[in-house]
Amino acid sequence: MCPFAKPVLAKGLIRYVECKDSEQGLVIDLLDQELVGLRDAQIDLVETTLFILSNWAGDFVEFQFFVNMCRKRIKTLGLKGVIQIAEFHPNYQFADALSGDISNATNQTPYPTLHLLREQSVELALQGAQTADKIVQRNQALLKEMGWDGLNKFLKEEKDFSNEP
């Protein structure tokens, strides 16, 4: 859905980290390592990280509190303006949407996930493009046009990103 994801995916620049811990202190410790690791990694090797919480036991509201804590960690680690977080959850729901609204699917994933993004990459991706809010609106409109059947079909198809521009 994200217009900026395809090139990063095609180049293999996404780091996937599964956090199997459920104890919050251990999760934060691993997150801190990943935040610093992303900052220090060569951008031509790792541009972004998906931090997947495979044993998260809390609900969506608890996850939102956790995300706010993670954003505070960014500031504590001196990474404000360097790295930002986008959050995804199986039950993600926009404040202005009903629970079954397909627009929520833009931020729904099988497991709670923190997308750690380099601010530099976000700024470059947005140059000459729409604002982040307009991209969210574009993605939501696209999903509404596709409907649940179209989305499920899209997700089941195999995609080969290597040959696309």
pLDDT in tens, the chain (165 residues): 666 677 888 899 999 999 999 899 999 999 999 999 999 999 999 999 999 999 998 899 999 999 999 999 999 999 999 999 999 999 999 988 898 899 999 899 999 999 999 998 887 777 655 666 777 788 888 888 988 888 888 878 755 444 333
What residue numbers bound the domain in which 40 lies? 5-163
Residues 56 and 165: their CA atoms lie apart, in Å, by 36
Sign of CA dihedral 165, 51, 60, 118: negative
At residue 130, the pLDDT reads: 62
Residues 23 and 21: their CA atoms lie apart, in Å, by 6
Residues 148 and 101: their CA atoms lie apart, in Å, by 10
| Total tally of structural domains belonging to the chain | 1
Residues 89 and 142: their CA atoms lie apart, in Å, by 20
